[in-house]
Structure 1
Amino acid sequence: MTHNRQLTVLFVPESAYGPTNNCVGIADVLRRRGHRVVFAAEASWKGKLTVLGFEEDLVDLAPPAEGADRGQDPGQFWKDFVRDTAPEFRKPTIQQLETWIRPVWEELIAGARYCEPQLKEIIARARPDVIVEDNVVAFPALLTAGVPFVRINSCNPLEIKSPTVPPAFSGYPAADRTGWAAFRAEYNRTHRELWTSFNAWVVEQGAPPLSDLEFIHESRTTNLYVYPEAADYPRELGPTWRRLDSCVRETDTGSFDVPPGEGALIYFSLGSLGSADVELMRRIIGVLAKTPHRYVVSMGPLHEEIELAANMTGAAFLPQTSVLPHVDLVITHGGNNTTTESLHFGKPMVLLPLFWDQYDNAQRMDELGFGVRLDPYRCTAGELTTAVDRLLTDTALRTRLSATGSEIRGRDGLRTAADAIERSAEATGLRSRAPR
């Protein structure tokens, strides 16, 4: 799609790598089409986005600590949060609603409240034609700016709720409704008061009220979610929703040299947050060290505390989209980015879910036969290595995934998203743009 005027597009991603990288991929397409792209990213992303050709106008989600450097590792708050609360991940998902899921919402809401004045100032400076949010929590300033608002859901699609699909965060099967009602009732019990308070504040800021028990608005015109059709849930979504089969950024510039040696090549990553559980990383590395395969390991922010085995190579962070095309198998936490990128490149997965959307993605890949779900804390060494070997030798699955990946790539989610954002601005931008 070719747009007849330069737009200013303001992206507001969640601080974690997944949503920010998702936005980077789409924003890069828009930038190359001649549009001005501004990121209202969390402060720890300082300098990480300008090198990609974007403008940064950063926000603090909490009062900066005395002497803090805005150039700290991106998403450092959430890495620390995960590290300190990792014991919660050993609990059944229904128990995590009170001790993990609600505290996450509390932190997200606190950040939204704190940065509301900053976002208003950023909008006044940037004067965007369209605002794009990839987050799970509402920022009222984005709804009251007087310009088109586009929502991206780059977590798993169960967060777009429906009575015909399992409850988000549960990891429950799609074909068995046992426990669905109890999980939803517990979510209501643990979150009703928090939602009521947040919704009242959102309305006080001049934004529309939130839907019941939802912490973010839908766009009235353009809502995008990232999940391949081959893995999506059978249900009807409203006319404003559009699926992106994948959203794989083209900005990874790091080179990847395939490590020498024989045996299958396997990528192991628990994500930038999950890898903060150093004890778990060490345990899995110890199991994989005894296999005949080669491994590329994303070691994460605490990489200095992790020692790789002789059959492994790795780094704190890797250009994941450059690595995935070369591997035979992915061992992953099941975050939505890694899950959809693995399918994009046609790779089977062993999934070790830790929190949030990861249980749902792991369950979905397992029940569709695209991978094997295991409990990262309770699976035995034998269960892990058996799953690895079974997936590596399943030629029918590899053929199926190769075809699936080709289909996903052909749908070009990046440009589909960029087109939708341009159309959103074109449809209403001239009538409702903020004064210049």
Structure 2
Amino acid sequence: MLADGHRVLFTVNDVWRPKLAAYGIETVELAKTNPTDDAVLDMDRSAHFIMSFGKIGGASAIEKIPFEANTAEFLTKYTQYMDTQLARLLPAIRPDVIVVDQFWTLPAVELSGIPCVWVWSFGPLMMVDDERTPPGESGLSATGDPRLWHEFRQLFRDVMIEKWRAFNDWVVGRGCKPLPELCFRNPSRYLHIYDYPLELGYQDIRSLGHNYVRFDHFKRTERDLTFAVPPVLADKPGKLIYFSFGSLCPVDVANMRRLVAILAKSPHRFIVSMGPKHKEYTLADNMWGAESVPQIRVLSLVDLVITHGGINTVTESLYFGRPMIAMPVFGEQYDNAQRLHDKGFGLRLDAYKCSEEELLAAIETLLNDLLMAERLAKVSRRIQTDNSLAKVSQLIEDFVQNPRKYID
């Protein structure tokens, strides 16, 4: 948007302001009003909240459904905080379009009457629940037993229905229309943009409305960042593997130590994104790591990715044609991992229960799968040649000028 001459303002907390400023992006700082606000906006503290809920841990996806009640309370506080902030900021900013990356609806945005684009940083099963596909966060296969889908949805409903009713009452009390049952947003009111590679999508199972537009990736451009294989690894034998569990999952230090101990027995080399608790565990001799690494630079150098299955890592790894061992921990990671497995672009393993033999064997299997490597190379060429991301600005401009074209 900036490159096309538009003025772009980000509402951010003080953690993100200097990061965006480096890219020349204007920011409007969110006000701090109480300790809860700080907690929901801080990544490290958010990770501990999520772990305390039980979402980060060795339970299965269906066993974690009862914890969704705690997540709902957390998201309610966050949404109400953001709503208060935007009710204050929007009249002063007076934007032509609002772009949000949210789980739940913001009444201040709906009541403003300003066209809104909802950018999804989560997989499509969480974006739209559809009986033709597995439920989001379930990790169930699209080719699996629909009775298991129904069981998961029913358990989710039993846990969340009262939380939804309370949230819906608040939304209506703010002056908005009621929400669809068990849905925490009014999806028909927005242009939805999401990233999911064509090869992983569910277009063969369901179609979405014309207000849903898919892109293969939202790959970041990390300007002024370079990366070379560290000397401690450069002269050692073996393939080069990237191990990242994102920003939140590494907060479970005990499991990170367990996985590092297994990977220490591999003949290959590892670049590790260690996460916020990087000082609380030690890497093995065949590894190098840091709290965070420039992922885009690293992915272009490695032969294999071991990931939690977060949407950024999945889409960016496919951009570079890298096979993945997906070890989901919570949320839509389960869905992404299963989809990779089903479509033949990687293997899904249990992040907490996989054995040493399973993980080490999976590494060798993927490194030696030449047919998978060919398929991934083809996907990578298609995505990089298509360059669909360049069309985002034009799409948003068209939506602002012709909203009825996208919203009935």
What TM-score, normalized by structure 2, do the two folds share?
Answer: 0.92
Which residue in the other structure is 1:340 paired with? 315
Residue 169 and residue 105 in structure 1: after superposition, are their counterparts in 2 closer, same or farther (change >3 A)? same
Q: Percent identity?
A: 39
Pick from 117, 121, 131 the counterpart of residue 154 of structure 1.
Answer: 121
Q: CA deviation at 1:252?
A: 4.6
| Alpha-carbon contact 1:151-1:222 (below 8 Å) kept | yes
Which residue in the other structure is 2:328 paired with? 353
Pick from 98, 107, 111 the counterpart of residue 131 of structure 1.
Answer: 98
Amino acid in the other structure paired with 2:131: P
- Once the two structures are superposed, residues 290-342 of structure 1 have per-residue CA deviations (whole angstroms, 9 ceiling, x without a partner) of 11111110011111112111111111111111111111100000011111111
Which residue in the other structure is 2:227 paired with? 256
| Alpha-carbon contact 1:43-1:60 (below 8 Å) kept | no
Residue 196 and residue 356 in structure 1: after superposition, are their counterparts in 2 closer, same or farther (change >3 A)? same
Cα distance in 2, alignment partners of residues 45 and 102 from structure 1: 29
Q: CA deviation at 1:219?
A: 4.9
| Alpha-carbon contact 1:272-1:301 (below 8 Å) kept | yes
Cα distance in 2, alignment partners of residues 356 and 140 from structure 1: 25
Which residue in the other structure is 1:224 paired with? 193
- Once the two structures are superposed, residues 231-273 of structure 1 have per-residue CA deviations (whole angstroms, 9 ceiling, x without a partner) of 1112111111111111101135321102413311100000000
Greater displacement, 348-357 / 153-162: 153-162
Amino acid in the other structure paired with 1:52: Y
Which residue in the other structure is 2:179 paired with? 210
Pick from 185, 188, 204 the counterpart of residue 154 of structure 2.
Answer: 185
Which residue in the other structure is 2:69 paired with? 102
Cα distance in 1, alignment partners of residues 69 and 380 from structure 2: 36
Residue 55 and residue 96 in structure 1: after superposition, are their counterparts in 2 closer, same or farther (change >3 A)? same
| Alpha-carbon contact 2:245-2:308 (below 8 Å) kept | yes
Which residue in the other structure is 2:337 paired with? 362
Residue 245 and residue 216 in structure 1: after superposition, are their counterparts in 2 closer, same or farther (change >3 A)? same
Q: CA deviation at 1:42?
A: 4.2
Amino acid in the other structure paired with 2:89: I
SS at match of 1:257: coil
Pick from 278, 286, 290 the counterpart of residue 303 of structure 1.
Answer: 278
Which residue in the other structure is 1:265 paired with? 240
Residue 253 and residue 35 in structure 1: after superposition, are their counterparts in 2 closer, same or farther (change >3 A)? same
| Alpha-carbon contact 2:309-2:326 (below 8 Å) kept | yes
SS at match of 2:247: helix
Residue 157 and residue 326 in structure 1: after superposition, are their counterparts in 2 closer, same or farther (change >3 A)? same
| RMSD (CA atoms) | 2.2
1:167 maps to 2:167: no
| Alpha-carbon contact 2:319-2:384 (below 8 Å) kept | yes
| Alpha-carbon contact 1:252-1:322 (below 8 Å) kept | no
Q: CA deviation at 1:178?
A: 3.5
Cα distance in 2, alignment partners of residues 109 and 417 from structure 1: 30
Pick from 51, 75, 79 the counterpart of residue 43 of structure 2.
Answer: 75
| Alpha-carbon contact 1:31-1:37 (below 8 Å) kept | yes
Cα distance in 2, alignment partners of residues 214 and 44 from structure 1: 31
**5+ residue gaps in structure 1?**
1-29, 430-436
Amino acid in the other structure paired with 2:139: G
Amino acid in the other structure paired with 1:206: G
1:325 maps to 2:300: yes
Q: Indicate the structure whose relative CO is greater, using CA pairs within 8 Å and at least 6 residues apart.
A: 1
**5+ residue gaps in structure 2?**
none
Cα distance in 2, alignment partners of residues 357 and 425 from structure 1: 30
Q: CA deviation at 1:131?
A: 0.4
SS at match of 1:313: strand
Amino acid in the other structure paired with 1:122: L
Residue 183 and residue 247 in structure 1: after superposition, are their counterparts in 2 closer, same or farther (change >3 A)? same
Which residue in the other structure is 2:385 paired with? 410
Q: CA deviation at 1:141?
A: 0.9
Pick from 26, 38, 42 the counterpart of residue 9 of structure 2.
Answer: 38
Cα distance in 1, alignment partners of residues 100 and 35 from structure 2: 23
1:112 maps to 2:112: no
Q: CA deviation at 1:94?
A: 1.7
SS at match of 2:112: coil
What are the within-5 Å matches in structure 2 for residues 29-68 of structure 1? 30-59=1-30, 63-64=34-35
Residue 252 and residue 186 in structure 1: after superposition, are their counterparts in 2 closer, same or farther (change >3 A)? farther
| Alpha-carbon contact 2:247-2:275 (below 8 Å) kept | yes
SS at match of 1:144: helix
- Once the two structures are superposed, residues 395-415 of structure 1 have per-residue CA deviations (whole angstroms, 9 ceiling, x without a partner) of 110110011011122232422
| Alpha-carbon contact 1:246-1:412 (below 8 Å) kept | no
Q: CA deviation at 1:61?
A: 7.9
| Alpha-carbon contact 1:62-1:111 (below 8 Å) kept | no
Which residue in the other structure is 2:367 paired with? 392
| Alpha-carbon contact 2:308-2:329 (below 8 Å) kept | yes
| Alpha-carbon contact 2:120-2:195 (below 8 Å) kept | yes
Q: CA deviation at 1:65?
A: 6.9
Q: CA deviation at 1:60?
A: 5.5
Residue 86 and residue 313 in structure 1: after superposition, are their counterparts in 2 closer, same or farther (change >3 A)? farther
Cα distance in 1, alignment partners of residues 265 and 373 from structure 2: 24
Alignment coverage as a number of residue pairs = 396
What TM-score, normalized by structure 1, do the two folds share?
Answer: 0.86
Residue 123 and residue 418 in structure 1: after superposition, are their counterparts in 2 closer, same or farther (change >3 A)? same
